Amino acid sequence: MTHSLHREGSVESLERDYCMLIYPARGWNNEGVTPKLQRILELVFLEDPSNLLIKTLHKNMYSGVTQKEMIDSVRDNSRAFCVFSRRERLANALKAIKTADEGISIIVSGLIDGVREICDEVGLDPHTINMSLGVHGRTDLLPPADIRQYTTMCGHGMVSPGLIRDAIRRVKTGKLSAWDQSIVLAKPCACGIYNPHRSEELLKEMSPLYTVDRW
């Protein structure tokens, strides 16, 4: 269960953050699925996702691999994960995938109202929802909410709160730009759904609010 449904932040920020998962069903439709997945990925790349990773390669689109290398890495057991910052680009990708009709499960994770509007626009009738009923237990142990806006962009929790604090310090002291630092933050995310565009926005917006040790 990817944790994309547990991403935190303001509604305005989440409005620019929609994940898409491309998921053949093991034992049901994954045999010989490689060309279908490759076709879907070609359509996705046309719409300029903010990040993308194919599970058989385990490298995100900022790691130096080309789109061709990513598409060539697809196998029958591959799953692909991506994130869009612009809703209209996601809608375009979904229109193209619907027309291609490859029969592979597509999951979109984001604001429910936003996904409903996109589905109405594209003409999709969603099948299943996985809803978050929140985080419980020792929530006092969690990093603060401002840090969780970044850490929850990696569903598996691989982007550490310490790295976020380090990023804020580096941006604040001019060692790296907000964009370059966001690419650094995207690296530990093993599913490629850390959104560097949203991360850049957050770093720019929030850096002035922090006091950091220059050294």
Partner 1 sequence: MIIHQEICVGCGSCQPYCPTGAISFADLVSTVDQDKCYECGTCLRVAVCPVDAIAESAEVQEYPRALRKYFSDATTTHAVTGIEGRGTEESKTNDVTGRVGPGDVGVAIEVGRPTIGMDLEDIQKFTRALARAGITEIEPQNPIHSMISDPKTGDLKPELLGERVLSAIIELKVTRNRLAFVLQTVKAVAAEVKSVFCLDICTMLEPGLQVPQEILDIITAEGFAWQPNAKINLGLGRALKAGT
Which residues between 97 and 156 bind partner 1 (CB under 8 A)?
A: 97-98, 101, 103-113, 115-116, 119-120, 124-139, 141-143, 148, 151-152, 156
Number of residues that bind partner 1 (CB under 8 A): 75
- Per DSSP, the three-state class of 29 is coil
Binding residue (CB under 8 A) for partner 1 from 13, 39, 45, 55: 55
Q: For residues 66 and 106, give the distance between their C-alpha atoms in angstroms, rounded to a whole number.
A: 23
Contacts (CB under 8 A) with partner 1, residues 31-50: 31
Question: 132-137: which pairs have CB atoms within 8 A and are 24 or more residues apart?
Answer: 132/5, 132/6, 135/6
**CB half-sphere exposure, 116, CA atoms < 13 A:** 4
177 touching partner 1, by CB under 8 A: no
Q: For residues 16 and 86, give the distance between their C-alpha atoms in angstroms, rounded to a whole number.
A: 6
Shortest distance in whole angstroms from residue 206 CB to partner 1: 18
Shortest distance in whole angstroms from residue 93 CB to partner 1: 11
Binding residue (CB under 8 A) for partner 1 from 45, 89, 95, 161: 161
